[in-house]
Amino acid sequence: MVPETIDLQAKFAAFDGQWQPKIIAELNDYHLKLAKIKGDFIWHSHPETDELFLVVEGEMTIQFRDGATPLTRGQLCVVPRGIEHRPTAEHECHILLIEPAGTTNTGEAGGERTAPGDAWI
């Protein structure tokens, strides 16, 4: 069986909802996820893992306790494990996330904004 072509735009077009990451590919024990984000997320950290954000469309900012990293289309940032961060976007922004399978969006903080960590699209 030949590995499939995975098209980012087609995947983004296939779901609505913000702050609800969708898995699109598996690489060993890592997942690639797409998310649509708008507004302010919660402060949280991932004690066990780094987390990669790549902006596919739009603009976002990752806030840290001691500063902020702005990201626009074609730019990425690796948030180190254990570092508190808060993703924000003024307008809807489309992002690609890379992190170990099972990583939850709210990290150690948990709470009502925790999304299912196993939703494929």
C-alpha atoms less than 13 angstroms from C-alpha of 98 in its C-beta half-sphere: 10
| Span of 13-21, 36-44, 77-85, 104-112 interacting with its own copies by CB under 8 A | 77-85
How far, in Å, CA of 81 to CA of 100, rounded?
12
**What's the token pair of residue 70?**
């702005």
Q: Is residue 93 a contact residue for its own copies (CB under 8 A)?
A: no
Q: Is residue 120 a contact residue for its own copies (CB under 8 A)?
A: no
Q: Which is nearer to its own copies, 22 or 111 (CB)?
A: 22
| Positions 17 through 36 that interact with its own copies (CB under 8 A) | 25-28, 30, 32
18 Cβ contact list (under 8 Å, min separation 6): 35, 36, 37, 38, 39, 92
For the bound state, the minimum distance from the C-beta of residue 65 to its own copies, rounded and expressed in Å, comes to 9
Q: Is residue 8 a contact residue for its own copies (CB under 8 A)?
A: yes
How far, in Å, CA of 58 to CA of 94, rounded?
6
The site for its own copies (CB under 8 A) is made up of 1-9, 25-28, 30, 32, 49-52, 56, 62, 64, 66-71, 74-81, 83, 98-100
